[in-house]
Structure 1
Amino acid sequence: MSQSIDHYSSARTMRDAVREKSISARELLDLHLERIERTNPQVNALVSLDPERARAEAHRADERLARGEPVGPLHGLPYAVKDTHEVGGWRSTSGSPVRADHIPEHDELVVQRARAAGAITVAKTNTPEFASGSHTFNPIFGTTYNPYDLGRSAGGSSGGSAAALASGMVPLADGSDMGGSLRNPASFCNVVGMRPSFQRVPQWPNPNHWEAISVQGPLARSVDDLALLLSVQAGPTDRVPLSQQVPGETFDLIDPLDLKDLRIALSIDLGGAFEVDADVASIIRAQAAIFEGVGSRVTDAAPDLSEAEDTFRTLRAWHFHASYGGLLAEHPDQFKASLADNIRAGETLTGADIARGYRQRSLLAERMRTFFADYDALVLPVSQVPPFPADQEYPADINGQVQQTYLDWMRSAYLITVTGCPAMSVPAGFTRQGWPVGLQIVTPANSERRLLSIAHAYEQLTLIGRRHPAL
């Protein structure tokens, strides 16, 4: 076994070592399975593990290399799939008692692409019920804990994915994002998560290909590794009519970027749109000096997103009712109360309400287009709070302001959702208690290449993501 590979090596380093046969896919898998055995009982990030199935996949990967066959960009890499994403023949519960025994027949597209690229599926990752909320707990598998403080939340809804990455259990994992579910857990766990533009990562099967607030995307421990995974997830398919036509491999190599004269709009609260914990605000303000130190021009500025609150709440309730209203009617006692309330909120929506939501989305998109004529990027907090106690469903208050619902404290993420712009969480610092805080970087719609370049350049200035938990 190669002595240069450990469970915190980059995904690219691991991939190259397998290709060069300095470590086999089976040895690399066993390295991670040993790590999982030691750390997952503490963190509870991975669920429905199937080591023997994974070993069989790794064996086939080694055989392909031995025969000299072409291999994909993720060949031999251990991989974890969010439990809302279906893997054929693998228990896929979505964290809900209603689907506790669900075993799908086929992989969905995001999984198909990862496996076709050579990824070795190890496990599913824990998620809240039907990915609802940014704290990962459910009645089937329990709570996922933050690797940096096992009494704290790992975020959500892709919390299992982020915690597994931070713990060194897998080098790559997938997730999804409606109100922040790729960004919030990345912030809480000191890893990197991107919410791509609409249909950059096509979703199939999907009962509504025109639905525009929920996306799938990548999580990794570095921007470079995230770009690798995005290059596999992205790209057109004739199964999704609106899938973006740019080939996925476009995103594999990040364009070098000099941050000198980059125009940065920095905002702590989007002009008073939400409360922000004092420690989080302090860390985000401190990033101005990081950018200015390399010549970026940082301005305290924010776009007007005053319609975003109503837009997100309306379209989310509509989506949840359309997706789960029938299940709730059949199983009224098998949904957590906050999710059931959100589903029922969609019952009374009218056609006029939905039309208003989409008109406002169009208005917000146009406002962001004009905003980005003056700025290259908007930076703000990913989450309004640092990781909160894991025994709470959501923070009770921020700076004394009561959070009435499990959505209230997520405005810093979901107000960006309805702009249609890609956004990424990149490690920015730690509170005095040692809790991670991420910086949210936002760029114009469909500008993932630009976003990757800015995020990578910023990441290299701080190297905060190289600080790992003491597990």
Structure 2
Amino acid sequence: MTSDQSICDLTATTLARAVAKSELSSRDAVEAHLARIAHSDVQLAAFVTVDAEGARRAAQICDAAPAPIGPLHGVPVAIKDLTDTAGLATTYGSVLFRDHVPAEDDLVVARLRRAGAIILGKTNTPEFGFGAVCINKLCGPTRNPFDPALTSGGSSGGSAVAVAAGMVPLAHGTDFGGSVRTPASFCDVASIRPTPGRIPSPRRPLGWDMLATHGFLARDVDDLELALSVCGGGDANDPLSVGVGSDDRLLARRPRIAVTPDFGVAPVARDVRARFSAACDALAGVADVAPSSPDCGGAIETFRTLRAAHIANSYGELLRARLAELTPTVIWNIEAGAKLSAEDYLNAERRRTAIYRSFRELFTRTDFLVAPAASVFPWPNEISDVTAIDGAALETPIDYLAVTFIVSLVGFPVLTLPMRREGNELPFGIQIIAPPGCESRLFAFGRTLEHELGFSHRRPKLP
């Protein structure tokens, strides 16, 4: 562990252990990752802001501490630029907030700091997180480290690339309709979208909104579990977090897995279906696998309605006051919800309830539900939206996310793992879904897939 190269190859768990044992200083860890950022990010554009001096000050505090500050003592991490960081610019990917410096950390950031993590910077995202390509008027496109001509995915593409390229071992993300899962699939890393409320959002204006969650991206399951362990836990100001229970019961038998390429309704490319079929064949070596899906009829229309209503409520005033400064993608997203009625919204909630109950019924017969983590493979950065799959036109620019947003709709936790690849195959990930509160079971099964099937990260060949 003496070279910058080898330090940047360490997982967060291994790095934290080495720093805690004084085998490596926090300053050395920070400098190695800053050097990797300086070397690689000129091409990849994963970061909007790098806080080198702030990271060095935090490392000095860690190294001077008489004992480890917490489980992430001295570990460099990155925060998606949709999430507030005290004293560090938070742009939300928009020129409207180019000079915005929050006075307080979001709770997830505060918990990371209390655990000893060192914030290296803020990772790129489309404006307000709306967009299939990780680009905005400030930064980007964030380029895929396996082929810089291709997209990293949105909207946590900056975090996925930072982890895949060794700029940080662990990065924060947010996920509304697939925003940690799609970039994880495209960039060959692992991700967790936990049960809504597992990581509280006490300042969220709509306290019972379960569509969006915090999450993490890393190169292995242990790091995801570590991150969730320090950031999870209830907060009285987040009503979702108060009701989140934990189910730590691990399976004492061979798992039962239901597999679906599309939930019966999602558009999914033929080449993705082929790779997913190969993944299912591999899974049969460690579990009992059977094709099955919840009844997701109407799920696409339901998510469109709920998403549009939430976005119009959150950003409608910006459309009225700052229209000329917004990107076309943001404008489309806000306008989509402008004409919805209360009846439209409540009918969507009624259908969501039925889909949730269908998921619950399926899990009386299976332990995990597995699906592709993306409906397509990464495409060129110059193409801003996915408008068709296999020549079939999509009705809206978000429909390519149906294979992930259906899970967001019902709020079940999802672990994404990269599938084993051959030769020059593009990265491809699978979603492993469990009932709410069963993250421990997900992590345990994920480790089995890493160790026995090789479903794990493979480093890109950086220039």
Matched residue type, 2:9: Y
Q: Distance in 2 between matches of 1:346 and 1:405?
A: 13
Residue number in structure 1 paired with 2:271:
279
Q: Distance in 1 between matches of 2:379 and 2:267?
A: 15
Residue number in structure 1 paired with 2:283:
291
Q: Is the 8 A contact 2:126 2:136 kept in 1?
A: yes
Q: Give matches, 1:95-114, under 5 Å.
A: 95-114=93-112
Q: Distance in 1 between matches of 2:294 and 2:450?
A: 24
Matched residue type, 1:51: A
How has the CA–CA distance of structure 1 residues 429 and 189 changed in structure 2, closer, same or farther, with 3 Å as cutoff?
same
SS of the aligned residue for 1:61 comes to: helix
Residue number in structure 2 paired with 1:25:
26
How has the CA–CA distance of structure 1 residues 84 and 108 changed in structure 2, closer, same or farther, with 3 Å as cutoff?
same
Q: Distance in 2 between matches of 1:135 and 1:416?
A: 21
For structure 1, which segment, 31-40 or 5-14, has the greater mean C-alpha deviation from structure 2 after superposition? 5-14
Q: Is the 8 A contact 1:134 1:184 kept in 2?
A: no
- Equivalent of residue 387 in structure 1, options 378, 387, 395: 378
Q: Is the 8 A contact 1:219 1:226 kept in 2?
A: yes
How far is 1:345 from its partner?
1.8
Q: Distance in 2 between matches of 1:163 and 1:431?
A: 21
How far is 1:465 from its partner?
2.4
Q: Distance in 1 between matches of 2:32 and 2:337?
A: 46
Residue number in structure 1 paired with 2:262:
269
- Equivalent of residue 343 in structure 2, options 341, 352, 355: 352
Q: Distance in 1 between matches of 2:453 and 2:418?
A: 8
The yes-or-no answer on 1:368 pairing with 2:359 is yes
SS of the aligned residue for 1:138 comes to: coil
- Equivalent of residue 128 in structure 2, options 127, 130, 143: 130
Q: Is the 8 A contact 1:29 1:55 kept in 2?
A: yes
Q: Distance in 2 between matches of 1:282 and 1:126?
A: 31
Q: Distance in 2 between matches of 1:84 and 1:103?
A: 12
Q: Distance in 2 between matches of 1:444 and 1:286?
A: 25
Q: CA offsets per residue over residues 410-444 of structure 1, 9 Å max, x none? A: 11111111122111210014477531000111111
Matched residue type, 1:267: T
Residue number in structure 1 paired with 2:7:
6
Task: State the TM-score, normalizing by the size of structure 1.
Answer: 0.94
The yes-or-no answer on 1:312 pairing with 2:298 is no
Q: Give matches, 1:65-464, under 5 Å.
A: 68-244=66-242, 261-271=254-264, 273-294=265-286, 296-430=287-421, 433-464=424-455
Task: State the TM-score, normalizing by the size of structure 2.
Answer: 0.95
Matched residue type, 2:8: H
Q: Is the 8 A contact 2:132 2:386 kept in 1?
A: no
Aligned pair count reads 461
Q: Is the 8 A contact 1:255 1:453 kept in 2?
A: no
Q: Distance in 2 between matches of 1:244 and 1:324?
A: 27
Q: Distance in 2 between matches of 1:394 and 1:431?
A: 28
Q: CA offsets per residue over residues 295-314 of structure 1, 9 Å max, x none? A: x2111111111121122111
How far is 1:5 from its partner?
4.7
How far is 1:204 from its partner?
2.9
Matched residue type, 2:20: R
Q: Distance in 2 between matches of 1:310 and 1:396?
A: 17
How far is 1:464 from its partner?
4.1
How far is 1:118 from its partner?
0.6
How has the CA–CA distance of structure 1 residues 70 and 33 changed in structure 2, closer, same or farther, with 3 Å as cutoff?
closer
For structure 1, which segment, 380-389 or 301-310, has the greater mean C-alpha deviation from structure 2 after superposition? 301-310
SS of the aligned residue for 1:22 comes to: coil
How has the CA–CA distance of structure 1 residues 342 and 356 changed in structure 2, closer, same or farther, with 3 Å as cutoff?
same
Matched residue type, 1:230: L
Q: Is the 8 A contact 1:80 1:172 kept in 2?
A: yes
Q: Is the 8 A contact 2:194 2:439 kept in 1?
A: yes
Q: CA offsets per residue over residues 347-401 of structure 1, 9 Å max, x none? A: 1111112211222222111111111111111111110111111111123421111
Matched residue type, 1:234: G
Q: Distance in 2 between matches of 1:356 and 1:458?
A: 39
**Structure 1, gaps ≥5 residues long:** none
Q: Is the 8 A contact 1:291 1:298 kept in 2?
A: yes
Q: Distance in 2 between matches of 1:256 and 1:17?
A: 29
Residue number in structure 1 paired with 2:42:
41
Matched residue type, 1:18: V
Q: Is the 8 A contact 2:85 2:109 kept in 1?
A: yes
Matched residue type, 2:47: L
Q: CA offsets per residue over residues 46-88 of structure 1, 9 Å max, x none? A: 1211211110111011111xxx245211110001000000001
Matched residue type, 1:226: L
Q: Distance in 2 between matches of 1:188 and 1:56?
A: 34
For structure 1, which segment, 281-290 or 235-244, has the greater mean C-alpha deviation from structure 2 after superposition? 235-244
For structure 1, which segment, 458-467 or 90-99, has the greater mean C-alpha deviation from structure 2 after superposition? 458-467
Matched residue type, 1:149: D
Q: Is the 8 A contact 2:199 2:214 kept in 1?
A: yes
How has the CA–CA distance of structure 1 residues 244 and 8 changed in structure 2, closer, same or farther, with 3 Å as cutoff?
farther
For structure 1, which segment, 437-446 or 275-284, has the greater mean C-alpha deviation from structure 2 after superposition? 275-284
Q: Is the 8 A contact 2:175 2:214 kept in 1?
A: yes
Q: Distance in 2 between matches of 1:369 and 1:291?
A: 22
Q: Is the 8 A contact 1:393 1:406 kept in 2?
A: no
How far is 1:262 from its partner?
1.5
